[in-house]
Amino acid sequence: MIEARRLHILRAVADHRTVTAAAAALYLTPSAVSQQLTALEQETGHRLVERSAKGVRLTPAGEILLSHTNAILAQLERAEAELAAYRSGAAGTVTVASFATGIAQVVAPAVARLAESSPGIRLRVQDAEGDASLPMVLDRQVDIAVAVEYRGAPAADDPRLTHVPLYAEPFDAVVPLNHRLADAEEVPLADLAKDPWIGPYPGNPCHDVVVLACENAGFQPRMEHSSDDFRAVVALASADAGVALVPRSALRGMDLSAVVVRPVDGVAPTRRVFAAVRRGAEGHPLIQPVLEALGEAAG
């Protein structure tokens, strides 16, 4: 009989591509992960992984088992949710990982809503970018991720996750006060092709949004300065260090007196924000009210 905990390990190895990375995500030693994989191979009677200097990949038999693993683990999440509902699990802690603006935009308001509607549910919030928070959900380090769509992110129909759309917001152009386009009502991105740029580091989902928008406008932005903190981005723009695209909600509450903020001409680059949980867990009596509170805050 196949043990479910070994299926968790198989999926972690498939996600992280190395035994060492999977072990770190699961808080196990590499030798423990290897032992569990060996035991799983003995249980199934098939070789499931192939090791090389570049890491680990699944064999065809491993891929078959992985496709069933996603369904099995989702069903186990549903079983846990129904059992928790049966015992009226109205109190407990739910851990949410979100990027900083998402915390301000929806997570913090959700905390306040839950204090009134579900006082037994306590949220524990962690600051994490979207490209980090989704693996944290899959590795069971957190219960919910508030993340941004980005290139390479798990798709909305990924069998491992349930996506709940929250909100979408445009990016605005931020330019120095003395910029040649400071008086324009809207800023055409193509007109910024020769400017130095300020933006998030590669790997940050917002970096992908900015680069893709510039590519669609016909150029590759020349990133002179990098920061994942939009306050730093705006400060550099105010010092005439370059131009930037910044999500509209990130500009709220900032001192914008030394920059000009304008909408982008045409179709504005947009970041789409969603909540994600392990598939099957969306009906858990602790998680469902949090998802509803996030949706209400976003609405």
Give dist(CA 104, CA 231) in Å, integer: 14
pLDDT digits (tens, 9 = 90+) for 48-106: 888 887 888 888 988 999 889 888 888 888 888 777 765 655 678 899 999 988 999 99
Burial class, 100, CB count within 10 angstroms (exposed 0-12 / middle 13-18 / buried 19+): middle
Say how far residue 220 (Cα) sits from the centre of its chain. Answer: 25
pLDDT digits (tens, 9 = 90+) for 34-64: 898 888 888 888 888 888 878 888 889 889 9
pLDDT exceeds 90 at position 187: yes
The answer to whether the beta carbons of residues 215 and 116 sit under 8 Å apart is no
As a whole number, mean pLDDT of residues 262-281 equals 93
Give dist(CA 167, CA 151) in Å, integer: 18
What integer pLDDT is reported at residue 226 of this predicted model? 96
What integer pLDDT is reported at residue 215 of this predicted model? 94
Q: Can you read off the two tokens belonging to residue 145?
A: 């991720």
The answer to whether the beta carbons of residues 148 and 130 sit under 8 Å apart is yes
Give dist(CA 290, CA 269) in Å, integer: 29
The least confident of 31-45, 134-148, 237-251, 284-298 is 31-45
Average pLDDT, the chain: 90
Picking from 203, 167, 173, the residue whose alpha carbon sits closest to that of residue 185 is 173
Q: pLDDT tier at 290 (50, 70, 90 boundaries)?
A: very high
What integer pLDDT is reported at residue 87 of this predicted model? 67
What integer pLDDT is reported at residue 147 of this predicted model? 93
pLDDT exceeds 90 at position 278: yes
